[in-house]
Amino acid sequence: MKKIIFLILFINHITYSQNKGLIHYGFIEGLTDEGQKGLDYNAYMIFNNNESYYVTAKDSLEKIEKIYSQKINTRNDYRGGTIYTGLKSSKLGDQVVCNIQKKTMWSNYFYKKHVYIKEPNPIIKWKITNEIKKIGNLKCKKAIAFFRGRNYIAWFSSEIMVPFGPWKLNGLPGLIIEAYDTNKNVYWYFKTIEYPSKTKQNIKYLSLPKGSYFIDYDGFKEFQKDQITIASDKLKIVQKKFPEIILVDPKISEMFIEIE
């Protein structure tokens, strides 16, 4: 009996390993310049049939000198100069873990500090169209959805039958190969894929640094409101010093990807 159980577990392990994949994306974030090219980050995702691990804006994935040599986001300041709004990479990067069996998503987002979020897997109401295009060697179909304040277009391939994609985008009948919002403020584009993958990397789980804790998504929205309040208060101080200048209040759409 023990031998039979061991054999079943061994077979499941082999099958599970064969289904592991590794996809590399480029991630362009241009929140402050609608329709313009923002900073171009490296990103990758490891996945299997049950879960995925995505990371971007991680120091070890980037060559800092290369980023500074790219066209960077700038915007006018209150004196007519420019403000650099670029590089926000961190040691950990922005990470998302999605687990189907546990129906849970864990993520961390770097905004002045790392914020850790635990939530049920978001249900995205995708509408699949008849449009098809080839990305790399994969035949992809177009899907559209409104998610967390933005209208998204995703190109997914049913040739790799897993419901995962970059960041928090998920729930399609195939791997998301390319995705972007209609204003191109955020854009994930395809680089390479290995499936099945021989990588020794496994799905990672987020470990909390000492003193940190997970908040739910409602808690993250409260964090966003606090950051907007802080930014508004700083603008008011500047306005008092320069009353002749008209300042524009900060927009959540220029500060975060999720803008509900």
Render pLDDT for 162-189 as a digit per residue (tens, 0 to 9). Answer: 999 999 999 999 999 999 999 989 999 9
pLDDT of residue 235: 79
The 10s digit of each residue's pLDDT in 182-230 is 998 999 999 999 999 988 888 888 889 898 999 999 999 999 999 989 8
d(CA 38, CA 56): 14
d(CA 163, CA 129): 17
How does 203-237 read in b/e, with b if 16+ C-beta sit within 10 Å? Answer: beebeeeeeeeebebebbbebbeebbeebeeeeee
- For residue 157, count other CB atoms closer than 10 A to its CB: 25
The 10s digit of each residue's pLDDT in 114-146 is 999 999 999 999 999 999 999 999 999 999 999
Query: What is the reported pTM?
Result: 0.83
The ranges assigned to domains in the chain are 2-254
